[in-house]
Structure formats: structure tokens, C-alpha cells
Amino acid sequence: MRVIVTGGAGFIGSAVCRLLVRDKKCEVLNLDKLTYAADLRTLDSVAGLPNYRFCKEDICDKQAVTKIFEEFKPTAVMHLAAESHVDRSIDGPAAFVETNIVGTFTLLEVARAYFDALPEAEKSAFRFHHISTDEVYGSLGDDGLFTEETAYAPSSPYSASKASSDHLVSAWHHTYGLPVVISNCSNNYGPYQFPEKLIPLMILNALHGKKLPVYGKGLNTRDWLHVEDHAEALFTILTKGKVGQKYNVGGCNEVKNIDVVRAIFETVKALVPEHVARSFEDAVSYVSDRPGHDWRYAIDPSKMQKELDWTPKYSFDTGLRQTVQWYVDNRSWWEPILNNKYNGDRLGEAVSVSND
């Protein structure tokens, strides 16, 4: 397979590139604009291999993307490039509309022209895999699960932009016959996650003896999946999924935010006790809630399990322990990020109206 991975220098995209290049022996072209969230060091283990190449481009640049398709001649596209942080979407939604909606539209148009010109024999193998989030479904109450039939009801600028892109991808299948698959995954965690996201932020704060800021009362619930399990699920969907179908991906690991933070604190304390002298109650600080904070997400992954025979390998306990250990062992990865890109400050309080 010859796969264009967009957003391959990001958290999930880099896990996908490592899996495809090293384990699945695919030819991979990583197309990434290198925003603040990107880090090419995540790809050190594949950068020198003959079946991997990198192109620094913006998915909104139609000419550049067309040239990449013409030269690389992909048999598949895995589209992960996006602005991905809800809090940043509250502070500055314009970039989310630009990349997640206009960028996806641009990529779809390039893929459609490329697909239409393929010989008939190659058309049946071609796939456009759009990687999306369960946040498009909005918020659950205390009961129920998201299925592939759940109606879309996004609440944040991020989830609204991802919902828009899902609808565009679906329309390009129904209207133009582009062979697409869409997957909607729950919250990911694991090595190389940018420290603006809950789990790495709390690990690094705990390691530095800083306060652990929890939104609201910490009772909102998320359904966690290790990034390597997500990458395997994406490869399974790409190779075994049915054209035009959606697949929900989740690990059945529902945890309240406060319990995630407590588990991180206890794990850091067990691994590096010299860093953590206080009790959890001393370390935690309850801060103002995220505006429009969805209450609960939870995925019903039975379609993935029954139709594609996929199950995750990590439990939340083993995955979290592995992740904390990785951050403890890889200070050289995150220290420059904290010093140069993001110092852990609060984002997304919606205190002023953005004019960009």
C-alpha cells in the first residue's frame, strides 16, 4: 500500500506512521504543515527508512497537495491533519474552520480528481479514510453510549469543525462516489502527546510538584484509548472496513476526570516518590469549568469488534502506567516543548471575544 498520512507529525498521526512504516511495511508519505502541535522527533525511528518520506505542506494548498498526489500516486489517504485542542478552539476558532473544514474540503477535491483519473482496476482498491472524534456526537447524560447511528450534536468550535468535515467526507462519497471510510474515536493518550492535553499536562505538573488544575468539580467523564490501540484500529478500518461506512473506536474505559488525575498522581508518586511529597488533596486545585464542557462521552465499539474483529490491547491501568513511565524517562522530549512552545498555562476560558 502507498499511503498519504496527513498530520503525520502529530500525536496520533506519528503513531500511525510508525505502525505503517515499521510493522505493516507500507510506503508512507507524511504530509504535515508542522504547526505548534507537530514534532518530527516522534518519527526518528522511521525517518531514515526507504519506505518513509516527509513533505512539509498545508492541506489547504490545493496546488501543492495535487502535486504530491500526482508524484506519490497513493492507494490510500489517512486524513488526520487538524487543529485538535478544544480549549484552543474556544480562544481562536478561525484556525479550526480553516484547517478542519476548508482543509478537508481541499483534500477531498484533490482526492476526487486523482481518483477519477485512476484506471478502473486501481479504483476499487483506493480509500479515503477520514479520522474523526466522538465529540461530534455532543454530550451524553449519565447513561447511554454513542453508536454509529447517534445524531450529530457538536458543542465546541473544535467538535463543530470536525462534524462539518465528517459531513463533507460523507457527501463526497454519496455525490461523487469517492470510496471513503470514517472513524470516530474517543479520547487518546500515550507517549508523545503534546502537554496541553489532560493526561500529559497532569503528569508533568505532578513531576514538577505543581498544582493539578481540574475543571469544575472534575466529574465529567471521558472514555480513554491508548494511541497504539487507535493506530491499529485505524489500519484495520483502512484495510477491512466497508466503503461508505462509519466506525466508532473506543476502549470501554470510562473514567471521571478527577479519577484520571488521581490515578496519574498516585502513579507518579509510586514511580518517582522524591518528586511528590504532598497528598492528592493538597495537589489538586479546582478551577473554573470549560465553557460548554460536555458532560460525558462513551463509545459503543461493538461494530468494530463484531465486523472487523478489533479489540484494544491496553487496559487503562496498564496504558496509564506505561505512559507515565514514558514521560518520566523522556524528559529530553518534553522539556524543550515546555520551555519554547507551551508552559502549561490555562487556555480556553472564553473571557474575551476573538477577532481573528
Task: State the catalytic residues.
Answer: 134-135, 158
Q: What is the DSSP letter of 151?
A: P
Q: CB nearer to ligand NAD: give 103 or 251.
A: 103
Note whether 29 binds ligand NAD by CB under 6 A.
no
Note whether 89 binds ligand NAD by CB under 6 A.
no
Alpha carbon distance 105, 314 (integer Å): 35
Give the residue, chosen from 40, 47, 60, 271, that forms a contact with ligand NAD under the rule CB under 6 A: 60
Note whether 11 binds ligand NAD by CB under 6 A.
yes
**Residue 14, SS3?**
helix
Q: CB nearer to ligand NAD: give 150 or 283.
A: 150
State residue 256 phi and psi, 5-degree precision: -70, 145
Note whether 322 binds ligand NAD by CB under 6 A.
no
Give the residue, chosen from 81, 181, 258, 284, that forms a contact with ligand NAD under the rule CB under 6 A: 81
Report residue 238 as a C-alpha cell. Answer: 483502512
Site for ligand NAD in 108-137 (CB under 6 A): 131-133
Neighbours of 160 (CB within 10 A): 21
- β partners of residue 247: 183
Give the residue, chosen from 3, 13, 154, 205, that forms a contact with ligand NAD under the rule CB under 6 A: 13
Q: CB nearer to ligand NAD: give 60 or 347.
A: 60
Element (H, E) at 6: strand 2-6
State the number of CA atoms in the 13 A half-sphere of 119 facing the CB.
3
- From first CA to last CA, the distance across the chain in angstroms is 40
Q: CB nearer to ligand NAD: give 12 or 276.
A: 12
Closest CA to 196 of 349, 345, 93, 35: 345
Q: Which position's Cβ is nearest ligand NAD?
A: 10
Report residue 315 as a C-alpha cell. Answer: 487496559
Residues of this chain that bind ligand NAD (CB under 6 A)? 6-7, 9-13, 32-35, 37-38, 58-60, 80-84, 99, 103, 131-133, 162, 185, 187-188, 194
